[in-house]
Amino acid sequence: MRKLILFFIAVSLGLTMTSCLDEGSQNFSESSIVYIAMDQGLVYGKTLTGRVITSDKIDMMVPGTFKFLSYSWEESYGYTSLGEVSVYNVITSGEVIDISQTYLQMAPVTEVTPKLDFKDIKRPVYDENGIYLDDYWLFEYSYMGKEGETPIVSFYKRSSTEQNPDPVEIDVRLVKTGTPKDGASEKLYTDVIAVDMRQLRQMYGGTSTTSTKDLRIKFWYYLDGRTELTESQTYIMKVKGN
């Protein structure tokens, strides 16, 4: 298990994505979860603060993964051109932390015993258009565990025969693997997971090239201290219209 500096919950992806890319004249130093992508032969990172960055270290990372990075930029470092986008040439520092990834399972959950509860699940960080983060949704969650255990969080789409379900309902479940360290006491852990949700866009998106429709999505999970499933608010994925 790892301790992760989690500030991204306070970041508004929609507000920062455009404004920060235009700033360019100011030095900065920050930490962010970064989505690693590749285009035109360039490996680069998309930060949750809205910046597009690259470095020698980022160039060695695998596209399609998420990392937690600390990095800095000064005007003397310059940019790398990616089409019409100017990518910041940054200097990374400190530990690079891998963010766990999973995918939406398109079959109903099979309940397990004993049931494990989350302490909390924060609202996801994602791009409703599926462009900036390629339909990955980032969830911060907390749970009680012991040193030596590893959490596994899974997402299951509830069965539905409807062409246009409203909403799409997804069950989130937590299990733990590994052997607790001798004498370890239970304590609160916080972590992040990136969930690939693109199958929903493929399943429910239409064929229009000019219009979109809202796909409503809701999550269900067990919280500590509650016997019934907890229902999340409704989130929107914008998909192609019919």
Let me know: does 21 contact 30? Beta carbons within 8 Å. Answer: no
Residue 55, burial from CB neighbour count under 10 angstroms (0-12, 13-18, 19+)? buried
Task: Please list the ranges in the chain whose pLDDT falls under 70.
Answer: 1-25, 113-114
Look at strands 136-145 and 79-82 and give their pairing.
Answer: unpaired
Question: How confident is the model at residue 113, as a pLDDT?
Answer: 63
Question: How confident is the model at residue 116, as a pLDDT?
Answer: 86
Question: How confident is the model at residue 61, as a pLDDT?
Answer: 98
Question: How confident is the model at residue 24, as a pLDDT?
Answer: 44
Question: How confident is the model at residue 165, as a pLDDT?
Answer: 86
Hey, what domains does the chain have and what are their CATH numbers? 8-98 (2.40.50), 100-240 (2.60.40)
Structure tokens at 138: 């980032």
Residue 151: asked if its preceding bond is cis (omega within 30°), the reply is no
Q: What is the pLDDT of residues 21-51, one digit of tens each?
A: 444 457 899 988 999 999 999 999 999 888 9
Q: Which of 95, 78, 96 is nearest to 87 (CA)?
A: 78
